[in-house]
Chain A
């Protein structure tokens, strides 16, 4: 039981933090958001730092790091509210490929992802599924040895610019069956793929993606697809939790600074007890959130039942923390907090989007509730 980071991890943190501070300052971020919410140039810089290969095995051109390193990077990207879809590509999709794809697919895609040359993302959201992962209406069938995918996926990260998608699609069974879901790789340039891109509330980019008999490569068969999808989503949740910790920490620091400088009635507003207690409560939510972000990351390697339970517990805490810290930061700033010009509102918007991603607080509370056991605790 030890929560120290290794020297190597601290160096990684330092490198990412420096890049964010130097190269992803608020004005550049604003320009990237204005230009559509994704920057190939920034992506290339992150790849040069080696970040794209973080979770990719060394044999495939990556660094072969684990969940703790991913958490460190996500905290720092969150601190700078970096809009680039780093977790979606480098942790979630690359993770699915590295763990489950046939070797030929790995060789084809992983080195290019690690080099920052290929964007692959998970495309799983369906309109009527909400947060239920096994509700899959998209279909996959084999047509003379060639897999073909049909269906529609929503809010796919950088969906109109990605090179390929990891798509859950139903091979057999009813719409809510966990069995019968396969994961397939579909290239954006393939016949039958159409996209409609748009910006998201947090300054990022997503797309609606339609597949009509699109040729696909099987990654995970219908026996294990749902399991692999759950695993990918848990990786995404842990990454989102860490990102939220970084974002909350920075937003909290900005708020504390503001309270110490802004004067009303002739004194800094940070002298007012009503506001001071809010500061203490924000600190509480930040630290509870950080504790549970660690928990989610450290449980990613557990058996699936334990992992899912832990990740849901973490997402409940982080969801509550994000909402509280975000809302209170705006409130404590007063009017300036809701201007586009000022930084706080942009953190608030990112935190809000993170809460709604991969299962909101209510959803995960339901998951914890459904998985309730006699005992509870870190080691239960």
Chain B
């Protein structure tokens, strides 16, 4: 047992840190460190910078053009990016669809799609959830009917994150109604420019446009866009879920946001004194600190087992629950730190370079919106209640 990274791992970290410092555009990290609004250009600029280095698919094996890092190296890369204030890499291309294409796609599909994902040029989104299919994903109804060399797709997807920017969408579609719901699902790649696709914004309670509804009206999709075999899509989707690694806990970002929380609590005043010196508030921050260290230790345990090629620890499901609870907690404490100054809702104040007068301080502008937005974290990716069902099932054996 040893808590320290090896000298090689420390050297690796230093290399990543230096590269990120050199290549992460300051205007982008400024926005991230201050929770200001990111544009499509900000996100894609960073994706392309990484892509040029061959790191946009940072978890990819060498045979598909990735760096071939092990679990610990991937973690160190993620941590260095997060602490430096890099935007989160949009996962739909490099993290979600790419591993499925690598595992189940044809060599033609791999050559056609993977380079655009790695380079950051092609933006992907995910077509899983439907209005009637949330936690019960296998009940999905969007149909794909085979006609000659194409599928005709009809139906609706929802909660499509950043679909308004996407070039492609990977979809779970129903190709059969025989047997169990899981057995009639196929995995299709669909060009968002196809005639018959309509994207409609869903405005969330923070006033932002992050998610969308995507409608399919007789959309023609060439059969060569089918991944693997027809009606085997559920298997591929499960494979994808298994590939969402420890990063789901997002502990690195939590560490960065804890620092921001402390900055805010030092800047805010209560009765003329720094809020951070108010013991009742400060102890709440201390509790969050403990929670983050405990989560990080749990992540490191998983990584250590993964790197050693051992059977994965059965704590991965816990990471999603705990990570999301912590994300919600720091947004809550930041909002509480600003107190009444969280109330003003000035939409433009979340733009970098806004020339208006902040009410209170710049750091007060985004805190309520982020708090509202982050209620999503315990809902998406399998709600925390569904996660608890899975953990209980594994523990009780029934």
> Which residues of A come within 8 Å of B, CB atoms?
1-5, 68, 256, 259-260, 268, 270-271, 273, 276-277, 279-281, 283-284, 287-288, 291-292, 294-295, 297-299, 313, 316-317, 365-366, 368-369, 372, 374-378, 380
| Interface check B183, CB cutoff 8 A | no
B293 touching A5 by the CB < 8 A rule?
A: no
Q: Name B298's closest neighbour in chain A (CB-CB).
A: A291
Selected from A277, A298, A376, the residue in CB contact (under 8 A) with B289 is A376
A377 touching B72 by the CB < 8 A rule?
A: no
Bound Cα distance A271, B391 (Å): 13
B322 touching A1 by the CB < 8 A rule?
A: no
Q: Name A3's closest neighbour in chain B (CB-CB).
A: B304
- Give the interface SS of chain A, mostly helix, strand, loop or mixed: helix
Selected from A281, A284, A316, the residue in CB contact (under 8 A) with B290 is A316
Contacts known (A2-B2, A365-B283); A270 close to B289, Cβ less than 8 A: no
Bound Cα distance A298, B259 (Å): 24
- With A3-B305, A298-B3 already in contact, 9 other A-B pairs whose C-beta atoms are closer than 8 Å: A1-B304, A4-B1, A4-B304, A68-B1, A294-B1, A317-B290, A369-B283, A372-B286, A377-B293
Selected from B259, B283, B293, B395, the residue in CB contact (under 8 A) with A366 is B283
Q: Which residues of B contact A68 (CB under 8 A)?
A: 1
B72 touching A375 by the CB < 8 A rule?
A: no
A281 touching B285 by the CB < 8 A rule?
A: no
Q: Which residues of A contact B3 (CB under 8 A)?
A: 1, 295, 298-299, 378
A378 touching B396 by the CB < 8 A rule?
A: no
Contacts known (A260-B398, A378-B296); A2 close to B304, Cβ less than 8 A: yes
Bound Cα distance A279, B318 (Å): 12
Q: Name A292's closest neighbour in chain B (CB-CB).
A: B294
Q: Which residues of A contact B321 (CB under 8 A)?
A: 280, 284
Bound Cα distance A365, B283 (Å): 7
| Interface check B292, CB cutoff 8 A | yes
Bound Cα distance A268, B397 (Å): 12
A378 touching B300 by the CB < 8 A rule?
A: yes
Q: Which residues of B contact A276 (CB under 8 A)?
A: 388-389, 392-393, 396
| Interface check B11, CB cutoff 8 A | no
Contacts known (A1-B303, A292-B297); A369 close to B391, Cβ less than 8 A: no
Bound Cα distance A316, B398 (Å): 33
Could you name 25 residue pairs across A and B whose Cβ atoms are closer than 8 Å? A1-B3, A1-B72, A1-B304, A2-B1, A2-B304, A3-B1, A4-B304, A68-B1, A260-B396, A268-B398, A277-B388, A280-B389, A283-B318, A294-B301, A295-B3, A313-B294, A317-B293, A365-B286, A369-B283, A372-B289, A374-B259, A376-B289, A377-B293, A378-B297, A378-B300
